[in-house]
């Protein structure tokens, strides 16, 4: 028996939305998985499933934004019951504050924690540079492109050093080129931060490119169909995406996603 507690354990998670008209929507039925901690390394775990299957619902349950109808979410062995600073979420819609500058947005979480201005500023500089926005620190979100706004959201989340970063199709609204750039950025960041990123997507190529582990999800009401450990590619760059090893992995995931039940 392994002695270490899993970092995250989701056990028999069920979520049913109670419709006001009396029609319930069962979104999640029996989602069960564990993610072990790998000390000192960041890890990206991808949830890959068709639109509407219940992926966002799982993330919201892990975030503590939604109660489980049945089952539980355990973080370091402790039952999740509401939101907490140990988890940070990045949504597809850009969620930075429009009235704050990039710097103020990124500092926001530290301000809430009562960290003194100088240390806040220093930390913010680091994260703003990490997402490539050093020249835009004093701009407001409306002056930025979609990709840049999403960089702000990522920096704003990471500065709080959450153990779990929950990302819900964060690059879904970006054009392909920007999206590839952001995927590269995320890999760089993940290599430096000792956190675990739960990343939701319906894009097979994005899953292979980013993931250490992919959970292939069933259509609604969703559950885990397969767990696939993605090969550790020597270098993850754009050329990789057209390589045979990468294509094989994409094909494997596609087959699992669309296998006839
Ligand atoms: N607040 C809600 N109230 C009722 N039904 C919802 C709500 N949020 C999501 N759903 C339904 O739950 C199912 C799963 O949604 P979601 O988790 O957003 O899927 P995904 O993120 O995989 O696209 C969908 O059928 C959706 O319509
Ligand atoms: Mg969703």
Residue 20 has pLDDT above 90, yes or no: no
As a whole number, mean pLDDT of residues 92-97 equals: 86
> How high is the pLDDT of residue 1?
46
Ligand 1 lining (C-beta closer than 6 Å): 17, 25, 27, 49, 51-57, 220
pLDDT in tens, 190-201: 888 889 999 999
pLDDT in tens, 102-117: 999 999 999 999 999 9
- CATH topology for 8-86+164-258 is Rossmann fold (3.40.50)
For the chain, give every domain's residue range: 8-86+164-258, 96-161
Name the residue of 57, 61, 68 whose CB sits within 8 Å of the most ligand 1 atoms, as the mutation to test its pocket: 57
Ligand 1 atom with least separation from CA of 217: 22
Give the residue whose CA is nearest to atom 16 of ligand 1. Answer: 54
Residue 90 has pLDDT above 70, yes or no: yes
Mean pLDDT across the chain:
92
Residue 52 has pLDDT above 70, yes or no: yes
> What pTM value is reported for the model?
0.93
Task: For residue 177, name the pLDDT band (cuts at 50, 70, 90).
Answer: confident
55 alpha carbon to ligand 2 midpoint, in Å?
A: 5
Range from 3-7, 16-20, 163-167, 189-193 carrying the lowest mean pLDDT: 3-7
Give the residue whose CA is nearest to atom 7 of ligand 1. Answer: 17
> How high is the pLDDT of residue 3?
59
As a whole number, mean pLDDT of residues 2-22 equals: 89
Give the residue whose CA is nearest to atom 27 of ligand 1. Answer: 52
Name the residue of 14, 17, 62 whose CB sits within 8 Å of the most ligand 1 atoms, as the mutation to test its pocket: 17
DSSP the chain: ---SPPSEEEEEEEEEE--TTS--EEEEEEEEEEE---TT--EEEEEE--TTSSHHHHHHHHHTSS--SEEEEEETTEEP-S--TTEEEE-SS--S-TTS-HHHHHHHHHHHTT--HHHHHHHHHHHHHHTT-GGGTTS-GGGS-HHHHHHHHHHHHHTT--SEEEEESTTTTS-HHHHHHHHHHHHHHHHHS--EEEEEES-HHHHHHH-SEEEEEPSSSB-EEEEEEPP--S--SGGGGGSHHHHHHHHHHHHHHH---
């Amino acid at each position: 028996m392994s002695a270490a507690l899993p970092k995250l354990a989701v056990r028999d998670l069920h979520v049913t939305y109670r419709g006001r008209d009396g029609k319930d929507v069962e979104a999640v039925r029996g989602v069960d998985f564990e993610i072990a901690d790998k000390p000192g390394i960041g890890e990206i775990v991808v949830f890959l499933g068709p639109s509407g299957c219940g992926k966002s619902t799982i993330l919201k349950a892990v975030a503590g934004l939604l109660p489980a109808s049945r089952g539980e979410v355990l973080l370091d062995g402790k039952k999740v019951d509401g939101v907490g600073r140990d988890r940070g979420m990045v949504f597809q819609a850009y969620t930075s504050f429009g009235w704050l500058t990039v710097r103020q947005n990124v500092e926001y979480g530290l301000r809430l924690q009562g960290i003194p201005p100088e240390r806040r500023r220093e930390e913010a500089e680091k994260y703003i540079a990490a997402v490539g926005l050093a020249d835009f620190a004093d701009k407001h979100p409306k002056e930025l492109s979609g990709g840049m706004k999403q960089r702000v959201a990522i920096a704003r989340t990471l500065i709080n050093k959450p153990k779990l970063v929950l990302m819900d199709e964060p690059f879904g609204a970006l054009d392909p080129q920007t999206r590839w750039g952001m995927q590269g950025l995320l890999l760089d960041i993940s290599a430096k931060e000792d956190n675990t990123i739960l990343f939701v997507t319906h894009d097979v190529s994005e899953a292979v490119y980013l993931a250490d582990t992919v959970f292939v999800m069933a259509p609604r009401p969703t559950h885990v169909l397969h767990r696939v450990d993605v090969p550790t590619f020597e270098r993850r760059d754009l050329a990789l995406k057209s390589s045979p090893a990468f294509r094989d992995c994409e094909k494997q995931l596609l087959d699992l996603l669309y296998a006839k039940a």
